[in-house]
Structure 1
Amino acid sequence: MAASASSRGFTAPIGASKLPTVEVFPSSPNGFVEFRRKKRSSIGGFFSIQCCCSDSVMPIRGGSGSGNGVDKGDDGRLDSKKITANYMRTQASSPMPFASPQSRFVSKPEKFFSRCTPRNSGPKSRDSPPKRDTGIANEKDWGISMLNDSVNETGVNEDGSTWYRESGEDLGDNGYRCRWTRMGGQSSDGTLEWKETWWEKSDWTGYKELGVEKSGKNVEGDAWWETWREVLHQDEWSNLARIERSAQKQAKSGTENAGWYENWWEKYDAKGWTEKGAHKYGRLNEQSWWEKWGEHYDGRGSVLKWTDKWAETELGTKWGDKWEEKFFAGIGSRQGETWHVSPVGDRWSRTWGEEHFGNGKVHKYGKSTTGESWDIVVDEGTYYEAEPHYGWADVVGDSSQLLSIQPRDRPPGVFPSMDFGPSLPPEDELPPTLSQ
């Protein structure tokens, strides 16, 4: 199978995963259902995949802190040779859990790996199933190992299962290069499959990318897919060096109407600007849940955080919770809403807000559909996080393999073409309004 390259993309293989097990706790006095998440285990197994190059670059979670420094120019511009390896306020409730007996979408790693993993000379799948709510893994957790030589191998194991391993290099305009390694296998009857692809890309603009894609399926029909990407490039507006990380994961049960999907992103630049976020969705038979959250730090002390969670059942019951906070130099606000809708359309909600004036005074207000309300000013300290817990220095220190990618030599007198056309952030990355 030949890998196809575009100017800046590539697709690869996958891992495995398990659906969440959740509990619904008794209703609170106001009638709003409270949720808490039980620990989840993950599914083991294999799946299949393809390798191709895609154009999208997705980002992922992040934060800031002290760590190894970054060697860069005073203006923070990208110089790949000099760059060296140097939440959101999560509330008690989880993203809308469901009341349901233990899912049959269970872990059977011993069954999958003993029958499907190639032996001896064949490649062995080192992937583990993707797990919910784990964010973006670091390079070291992926163990990406690119083969230096072109390889095209296949084989058959003692149990009749087959495997393949191949690698190659794709070249393109502007010094583009994509080095890739792909491997996979399947059982003799084809009911079990696994595939994974690793790649690294670069061009003369200083763009570098590292990525993995994995997939798998088992005899019960359970299927999973996972991809992770890490990108270094120069921001088209500020000309600052920027690192973006992203991960997408999904799993689907073959025995019941159940599955989940997650998209995580983190973006960092050399001046401390940071953005993190996630979109999640899950379904367990008649119940579904959604969650979105984001964090935005401008690198100068201004911060915006928000989250929006909701769930529903096929009977018509709906419930959710959302909040938002904005702060700068000790002055800011918080506001939110908790709500519940019954199958017959009866709606309960409670809205609340806080105004922090930076002088020790806080205005608190709120009301609910049951008639309660408050509007007071209190003496209270203001606490918020003006910087992410994981930021530019941290992500650079964790991106040594990305930074070590060697681009093709640029001929003398040849300059890279750079497209700095206008671009707007994707609509689904903007924070939602708080009006329900």
Structure 2
Amino acid sequence: MAASSGGFATQLEFKLFTLHVYHGLAPSKRILCDRLTMLSRVSCCCSDSVVQIRRASGSGKSNEKTEDWRFDSKKSPHRVRVQASPAMPFTSAQSRFPSKQEKFYPRCTSRNSGPQPRDTPPKRDTGIANEKDWDISLLNENVNESGTNEDGSMWYRESGEDLGENGYRCRWTRMGGKSHDGSSEWKETWWEKSDWSGYKELGVEKSGRNAEGDSWWETWQEVLHQDEWSNLARIERSAQKQAKSGTENAGWYEKWWENYDAKGWTEKGAHKYGRLNEQSWWEKWGEHYDGGGSVLKWTDKWAETELGTKWGDKWEEKFFAGIGARQGETWHVSPSSERWSRTWGEEHFGNGKVHKYGKSTSGESWDIVVDEETYYEAEPHYGWADVVGDSSQLLTIQPRERPPGVCPNLDFGSSQRQDDDEPDVPPSSQ
């Protein structure tokens, strides 16, 4: 998948999966494994009459739409109804900076011989793009040049090569520019790295800000190396993205990663955070395939407002050869600290029988066995063959020529593991 789920506040969204549960009955809808593309309807209990949360959804495309989440407890003392109202924008600043990309990211230089920003800033929920989408083109010679455009904006472009031990080589190109008064600027750095152990890396970092103080930053890289435990070839891809408003308390941060090896072992995940004035939300999800049919997937999402309303949803599933289990929880906390939750579970025995059970703090409960086909994905839809096919520029990186009789240092180092502790707020622009 270049992205497992698919520009600034126009895409602030909090996706959950759909769970239908009625008093005394088991969930009536099959819960699909790939819940990342499903929206949720959360039923929960709260004491406040109406808490309204608005969101915009979409993938940075022109057909953006918005939804209005209304938690209404007047209809039932134990349930909350979630309604979707189309064409409802964010109440704050949707018309100012988030909805107009050309204002958030103005071009800093006029069209002449100087370098131009060639891409748009990062968008939410775009995942890890393939290398061809980054259009990385390193200069073959050392360059150090700069200039001034007709409008007074300035630009620079430079490139070089760094050498180190064990055949290390890093070829890089940097470019950037700023407006005549320095109120807006942009930077880009591309690089490719290699050494005699077979390590290869391709990456890019981009950042910018405008006169209103809006800022953005993103970095992407893919790495080819030999796994220190299995000696298998391994490709790791990662991306970090963020954007912040300079005029209001709004911003988002995302961290994505994908790891693959030649035997089919695959690991994917993402950590996300966003805020729009009084509303904040978080999301974490992961997938792990061992290459032999065993799969683990999980998601944890939650949100809150400054009024004290909080809600969330999480689930996990483990399967192998048709046998496995799913479990999850949906919860809500009102401004008066009243908590409602519903927990559920499924045991799949591999013989067409499924044990479903669950309960809620409002008195619901069920415990039944039904005849139901078990559905899950034992293999990633984007795996080793796919990532190799999409990494041609990485694979063709040429290392330095090794002198005769010189052996490379085969200390590959520890494989990078993603840190579960993410910042509570988007990091400052770099």
Distance 1:178 1:117, change over 3 A: same
Which of the numbers 151, 155, 159 marks the counterpart of 1:159? 151
Correspondent of 1:217 among 184, 188, 209: 209
Q: Please tell me whether residue 339 in structure 1 is matched to residue 331 in structure 2.
A: yes
- Which residues of structure 1 form unaligned runs of 5+? 1-16, 43-92, 431-436
Among 211, 231, 236, the alignment partner of 1:244 is 236
Q: 1:348 to 1:99 in 2, by over 3 A?
A: farther
Whole-angstrom CA distance in 2 between matches of 1:424 and 1:201: 17
Amino acid of the structure 1 residue aligned with 2:178: Q
For the structure 1 residues 329 and 113, does the alpha-carbon distance in structure 2 shift closer, same or farther, using more than 3 Å as the test?
closer
Specify the SS of the correspondent of 2:113.
Answer: coil
Q: Partners of 2:235 and 2:392 in 1: how far apart?
A: 12
Q: Distance in 2 between matches of 1:215 and 1:283?
A: 20
Distance 1:346 1:39, change over 3 A: same
Counterparts in 2 of 1:320 and 1:100: CA distance versus 1, 3 Å: farther
Per the alignment, residue 57 of structure 2 pairs with 38
Equivalents in 2 of 1:28, 1:268: separation in Å?
35
Task: Specify which structure has the bigger relative contact order, considering alpha-carbon pairs within 8 angstroms and separated by 6 or more residues.
Answer: 1
1:350 pairs with one of 336, 342, 359 = 342
In 1, the alpha carbon distance for the partners of 2:13 and 2:401 equals 57
8 Å contact from structure 2 (residues 59, 126) kept in 1: no
Which whole-Å CA distance do the structure 1 matches of 2:399 and 2:101 have between them? 39
| 2:45 maps to amino acid | G
Given candidates 228, 234, 248, the residue that maps to 2:226 is: 234
CA distance change for structure 1 residues 404 and 22 in 2, over 3 Å: closer, same or farther?
A: closer
**CA gap 1:353/1:110 in 2 versus in 1, 3 angstroms:** closer
Q: Aligned ranges for residues 37-436 of structure 1 at < 5 Å? A: 37-39=56-58, 41=60, 100-103=91-94, 104-106=96-98, 108=100, 110=102, 116-419=108-411, 425-428=417-420
Closer, same or farther: CA 185–243 of 1 in aligned 2, 3 Å = same
Deviation at 1:213, TM superposition (A): 0.5
Question: Cα distance, 1:241 vs. partner?
Answer: 0.2
> Cα–Cα, structure 1 residues 227 and 339, in superposed 2: closer, same or farther, change >3 Å?
same
Question: In the aligned structure 2, how far is the partner of 1:361 from the partner of 1:114?
Answer: 58
What secondary structure is seen at the aligned counterpart in 2 of 1:305? Answer: strand
5+ residue gaps, structure 2, are: 1-6, 15-38, 62-83, 423-430
Post-superposition offset of 1:314: 1.4
Task: Assess, with a 3 A threshold, how the Cα gap between structure 1 residues 372 and 291 changes in structure 2: closer, same or farther.
Answer: same
Q: CA deviation at 1:345?
A: 0.9
Q: Percent identical across equivalent pairs?
A: 79
Question: Cα deviation per residue 1:169-201 (whole Å; 9 max; x = unaligned)?
Answer: 000000000000000001100011011010000
Which residue among 5, 8, 19 is the counterpart of 2:9? Answer: 19
TM-score by length of 2: 0.79
Task: Specify the code of the residue in structure 2 equivalent to 1:31.
Answer: C
Q: Name the residue aligned to 1:67.
A: none
Q: Is the 8 A contact 2:202 2:223 kept in 1?
A: yes
- CA gap 1:160/1:424 in 2 versus in 1, 3 angstroms: closer
The CA deviation at 1:21 is 5.4
What amino acid does structure 1 have at the position aligned with 2:8?
A: K
Kindly state the Cα deviation for residue 100 of structure 1 after the two structures are TM-superposed.
Answer: 3.6
Distance 2:43 2:201 in 1: 52
Corresponding position of 2:75 = none
- Change over 3 Å in CA distance of 1:331–1:110 after alignment to 2: closer
**Length-normalised TM-score, structure 1:** 0.78
Name the amino acid aligned to 1:39: G
Distance 2:104 2:12 in 1: 26
Taking a change above 3 Å as real, the CA distance of residues 113 and 160 of structure 1, as seen in their structure-2 partners, is farther
Whether the 8 Å CA contact 2:105–2:209 is kept in 1: the answer is: no
What amino acid is the match of 1:361? K
Which stretch of the first structure deviates more once superposed, 99-108 or 237-246?
99-108
1:232–1:221 Cα change, 3 Å: same
Residues 402/429 of structure 1: CA separation in 2 closer, same or farther (3 Å cut): farther
Shift of 1:413: 1.2
Secondary structure of 2:137's counterpart equals: coil
CA 145–324 in structure 1, closer or farther in 2 if over 3 Å, else same: same
> Does the CA contact (< 8 Å) of 2:294 and 2:319 recur in 1?
yes
The number of residues matched between the two structures is 362
Partner letter of residue 38 of structure 1?
A: S
Contact in 1 for aligned 2:253/2:273 (Cα 8 Å): yes
Kept in 1: contact 2:97–2:103 (CA 8 A): no
Please say if residues 21 and 102 of structure 1, whose CA atoms lie closer than 8 Å, have aligned partners that are also in contact. Answer: no
Aligned residue for 1:428, secondary structure, equals coil
Deviation at 1:428, TM superposition (A): 1.2
